[in-house]
């Protein structure tokens, strides 16, 4: 028998009726549990019709490594306790930086299974508890400790190699990478919850002003590219990646409330439906067939498109996993938004800008909004939820027919990829 080609359908439709986020950033006085409570409170404050929190039947917590960041395991029941929701069942989901993307899928299946009607799904990470080299070491445990890490690979090096391969195979260049950063900072500047809600332009001007105030030589920047090409302002991390090619280290949490679609009327008249969901695993990088795309991303996207009955062209807004600028370029190719090798040019032409024809990472992405790894997947979903409801404020996509959005969440070097497609209920 073979069932791998059967059409996958959920036994019961599932919708999102609320979303919340903590501020993303570096918060010395907050543990991950505090951040989760902040996200939950933000969600409650913004629910259209409120909720008796005791009606939440089950929860999932995406978290990458409270173990290594906070020396705390078994975080799920702690979250239930801090939300006042004990004895609600609660389970931690870990798939590296795709932890909360996977958690969302577990929440979807929990409702579709018939076991629960109302499920909380969140993610959190407290990363700034360690110095930068400690964070790099913890993140490296998302690669294969038997083959990759002993060879000296950490994530900037891994994505540096991926970028090099992409530049070698296609006409992707250094400017393409930097333009991803410029775009995402422009979006992040419009997101009050973003860790870097500031444009590269502003950062450039700030640097010039500061030099002047200190009586130092003022750098002669005219464009953002001048600034980004100055190694003093934007040092090399792992060629061809520089500081502004890398997502920051972030503390933060995000959550969404899922309900069985037949119950959405109890919560809102603007529900957002789960139209499709896909997840796949990929072989570790040392065994991958190629470096210029992630096989798991293509497989997960294909599952999600098929379930939703749509194609890449139908997607109107997307949050993709830009842990490094090259990762966004490859994501837009793996998702089928652009042909392989065309992702860099699409950025260059402004197609992925907020008011381009395929807006990508309107939240600022991991690059500017921040990347609290276990929270990033649900953070993406929160952004698409707000976009499809027309409540994204200054960064709202200008499309009166906005209906379909997508999230693309990657763990490790593509060991895990989760793609979810959301649809505004008509």
Task: List residues with catalytic annotation.
Answer: 97, 371
Judged by CB under 8 A, does residue 339 bind a second copy?
Answer: no
The C-alpha torsion from 25 through 334 and 154 to 128, rounded to 10°, is 10
Q: Could you tell me how many residues of this chain bind a second copy (CB under 8 A)?
A: 80
Judged by CB under 8 A, does residue 309 bind a second copy?
Answer: no
Taking a C-beta distance cutoff of 8 angstroms, is the pair 320, 414 a contact? no
Specify the stretch interacting with a second copy by CB under 8 A; choose among 103-111, 123-131, 165-173, 189-197: 103-111
Q: What is the DSSP string of 145-159?
A: TTTTGGGT--HHHHH
Among 17, 39, 143, 329, binds a second copy (CB under 8 A): 143
Smallest distance from a second copy to CB 92, Å: 4
Judged by CB under 8 A, does residue 125 bind a second copy?
Answer: no
Among 45, 262, 287, 357, binds a second copy (CB under 8 A): 287
* Residue (138 or 425) nearer to a second copy, CB: 138
C-alpha closest to that of 321 among 276, 365, 369, 372: 365
Judged by CB under 8 A, does residue 109 bind a second copy?
Answer: yes
Smallest distance from a second copy to CB 371, Å: 15
Residues between 251 and 270 that touch a second copy (CB under 8 A): 263, 266
C-alpha closest to that of 401 among 412, 390, 385: 390
**At residue 191, what are phi and psi to the nearest 5 degrees?**
-115, 105
Residues between 26 and 55 that touch a second copy (CB under 8 A): 31, 33, 52, 54-55
* Residue (125 or 224) nearer to a second copy, CB: 125
Judged by CB under 8 A, does residue 115 bind a second copy?
Answer: yes
- Token digits for 72? 């705390």
C-alpha–C-alpha distance, residues 315 and 270, integer Å: 19
Among 28, 146, 222, 232, binds a second copy (CB under 8 A): 146
Residues between 2 and 21 that touch a second copy (CB under 8 A): 2-4, 6, 8-12
Judged by CB under 8 A, does residue 273 bind a second copy?
Answer: no
The C-alpha torsion from 112 through 113 and 115 to 118, rounded to 10°, is -20
Residues between 389 and 418 that touch a second copy (CB under 8 A): 411-412, 415-416
Judged by CB under 8 A, does residue 138 bind a second copy?
Answer: yes
Among 295, 312, 345, 396, binds a second copy (CB under 8 A): 295
C-alpha–C-alpha distance, residues 323 and 152, integer Å: 19
Smallest distance from a second copy to CB 415, Å: 3
Maximal CA-CA distance, the chain: 76
Judged by CB under 8 A, does residue 291 bind a second copy?
Answer: no
Task: Provide CB contacts within 8 A for 33, sequence distance 6+.
Answer: 75, 78, 79, 82, 124
Among 44, 53, 72, 198, binds a second copy (CB under 8 A): 72
* Residue (370 or 374) nearer to a second copy, CB: 374
- Token digits for 166? 């992409």
| Upper half-sphere CA count for residue 405 (Cβ side, 13 Å) | 32
Among 238, 258, 296, 320, binds a second copy (CB under 8 A): 296
- Residue 270 burial (C-beta neighbours within 10 Å; 0-12, 13-18, 19+): middle
């Amino acid at each position: 028998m073979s069932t791998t080609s059967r059409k996958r359908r959920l036994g019961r439709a599932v919708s999102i009726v609320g979303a919340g986020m903590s501020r993303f950033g570096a918060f010395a006085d907050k543990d991950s549990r505090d951040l989760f409570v902040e996200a939950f409170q933000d969600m409650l404050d913004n629910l259209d019709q409120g909720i008796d929190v005791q009606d939440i039947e089950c929860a999932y917590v995406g978290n990458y490594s409270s173990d290594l960041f906070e020396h705390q395991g078994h975080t799920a029941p702690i979250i239930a306790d801090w939300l006042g929701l004990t004895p609600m069942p609660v389970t931690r989901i870990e798939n590296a930086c795709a932890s909360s993307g996977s958690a969302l899928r577990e929440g979807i299946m929990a409702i579709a299974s018939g076991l629960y009607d109302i499920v909380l799904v969140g993610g959190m990470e407290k990363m700034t508890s360690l110095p930068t080299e400690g964070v790099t070491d913890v993140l490296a445990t998302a690669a294969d400790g038997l083959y990759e890490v002993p060879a000296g690979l950490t994530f900037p090096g891994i994505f540096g190699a991926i970028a090099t391969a992409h530049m070698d195979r296609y006409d992707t260049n250094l400017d393409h990478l930097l333009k991803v950063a410029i775009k995402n900072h422009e979006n992040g500047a419009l997101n009050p919850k973003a860790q870097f809600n500031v444009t590269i332009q502003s950062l450039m001007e700030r640097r010039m002003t500061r030099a002047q105030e200190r009586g130092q030589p003022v750098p002669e920047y005219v464009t953002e590219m001048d600034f980004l090409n100055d190694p003093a302002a934007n040092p090399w991390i792992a060629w061809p990646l520089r500081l502004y090619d890398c997502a920051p280290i972030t503390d933060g949490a995000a959550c969404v409330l899922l309900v069985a679609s037949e119950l959405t009327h109890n919560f809102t008249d603007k529900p957002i439906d789960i139209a499709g969901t896909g997840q796949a695993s990929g072989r570790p990088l040392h065994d991958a067939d190629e470096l210029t795309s992630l096989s798991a991303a293509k497989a997960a996207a294909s599952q999600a498109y098929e379930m939703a009955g749509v194609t890449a062209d139908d997607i109107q807004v997307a949050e993709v996993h830009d842990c490094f600028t090259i990762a966004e370029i490859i994501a837009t190719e793996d998702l089928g938004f652009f042909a392989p090798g065309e992702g860099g040019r699409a950025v260059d032409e402004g197609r992925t800008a907020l008011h381009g024809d395929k807006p990508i990472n309107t939240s600022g992405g991991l690059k500017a909004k921040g990347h609290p790894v276990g929270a990033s997947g649900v953070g993406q979903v929160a952004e698409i939820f707000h976009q499809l409801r027309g409540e994204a404020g200054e960064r709202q996509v200008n499309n009166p027919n906005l209906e379909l959005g997508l999230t693309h969440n990657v763990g490790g070097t593509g060991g895990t990829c989760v793609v979810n497609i959301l649809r505004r209920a008509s």
